[in-house]
Chain A
Amino acid sequence: MATKTYAGQTVEVNDEGYMVDPSQWNKEIAVEIAKEDGIELTDKHFEVLEFLREANEKGETLTIRRVGKSGIVDIKGLYQLFPGGPLKLSSKFAGIPKPASCV
């Protein structure tokens, strides 16, 4: 397992760059991971990330539809926040495992 240093903290990541331990996550780390993918995180981004972290903690299967119905952002907005990877990128920035759903 590889480690990476974000915001002065060493975190474990898998070979696709997803954090292994969600409890190591914090906002500063998220900002730096997102920067690697060329995305600057705003408050709206963080609302989505918090939603995903909570849902992940409860063991829910994450889909863009779930996020779209969260009241935070619609699906179109989600694509605008995380271009080219609405669920993959957001999960990566949220420090949770890569989503295993097909929708």
Chain B
Amino acid sequence: MAEIKESPLKKVCIICAKGSIEDVYATLVMANGAVMEGIETKVFFTFFGLDAITKKQMKRLKTATVGNPAMRAPGGLPFPTVLGMIPGVEAGVSAMMKSQMYKLDIPPVDEFLEMITAGGGELYACKLAMDMFKLEKEDLHEEVKGVLTVGDFYAMCGGEHTQIIFT
């Protein structure tokens, strides 16, 4: 068998289509991590992922406490779904998630976006989803470079050693 030679990753194109805390942060951590490794990074936010770059929503992201089978109470105790339905529980759980992250020096969403662009990473919004949610470019964080069609985005994802990641 021929020897497989590893060659370093040069570019990542990350797509964020969901708007929960963990989905958005998965995207942001991966994007920032790539930038820190010197990898060219482009992030495309679409559907509910747009919340991460929408000024009004970016500070209000939540973790789902209903329909989330991985949800556990502190200490690993079971967390029955009915509990998650009680008003305030989702907000409480979300606040706790955020405080745990801040302890690890993971910044709030707006600051995280600025960290990514400070290193040369680029952020884009999906035109179709923007139209769907009736959003304008002014509704988005200043660091968002543009609003693209999916074709425009794919056109940026060419080149050797490029990966598209869907989080």
Q: Do A and B come from one complex?
A: yes
Given contact pairs A64-B36, A84-B38, A102-B29, A76 touches B105 in the complex (Cβ within 8 A) = no
Bound complex: CA of A14 vs CA of B114, how far in Å? 33
Bound complex: CA of A61 vs CA of B120, how far in Å? 24
The 9 A-B residue pairs with the shortest CB-CB distance, nearest first, are A84-B38, A76-B118, A75-B118, A63-B105, A79-B119, A65-B105, A75-B115, A103-B106, A102-B33
User: How many contacting A-B pairs (Cβ < 8 A)?
Assistant: 44
CB<8 Å pairs between A and B, sample of 19: A63-B105, A64-B36, A65-B107, A65-B111, A68-B115, A74-B118, A75-B114, A75-B115, A75-B118, A79-B119, A83-B38, A84-B37, A85-B36, A85-B37, A101-B104, A101-B105, A102-B29, A103-B105, A103-B106
Given contact pairs A74-B118, A79-B120, A102-B29, A88 touches B37 in the complex (Cβ within 8 A) = yes
* Interface residues, chain A, with chain B CB atoms under 8 Å away: 61, 63-66, 68, 74-76, 79, 83-88, 101-103
* Interface residues, chain B, with chain A CB atoms under 8 Å away: 29, 32-33, 36-38, 104-107, 111, 114-115, 118-120
* Nearest-Cβ distance from residue A101 to partner chain B, whole angstroms: 7
Q: Are A66 and B120 in contact (CB under 8 A)?
A: no
Bound complex: CA of A57 vs CA of B32, how far in Å? 26
* Nearest-Cβ distance from residue B92 to partner chain A, whole angstroms: 25
Bound complex: CA of A87 vs CA of B120, how far in Å? 15
Interface of A is mostly: loop
Beyond A63-B105, A65-B111, A79-B120, list 14 extra A-B contacts (CB 8 Å): A64-B36, A65-B107, A75-B114, A75-B118, A79-B119, A83-B38, A84-B37, A86-B36, A87-B36, A101-B104, A103-B33, A103-B105, A103-B106, A103-B107
* A-side contacts of B36, CB under 8 Å: 64, 85-88
Q: Are B105 and A79 in contact (CB under 8 A)?
A: no
* B-side contacts of A86, CB under 8 Å: 36, 119
* A-side contacts of B120, CB under 8 Å: 79
* Nearest-Cβ distance from residue B38 to partner chain A, whole angstroms: 3
From A64, A87, A103, contact of B104 by CB (8 A)? A103
Question: Who on chain A is nearest to B107 by CB?
Answer: A65
Bound complex: CA of A28 vs CA of B144, how far in Å? 42
Q: Are B29 and A64 in contact (CB under 8 A)?
A: no
* B-side contacts of A87, CB under 8 Å: 36
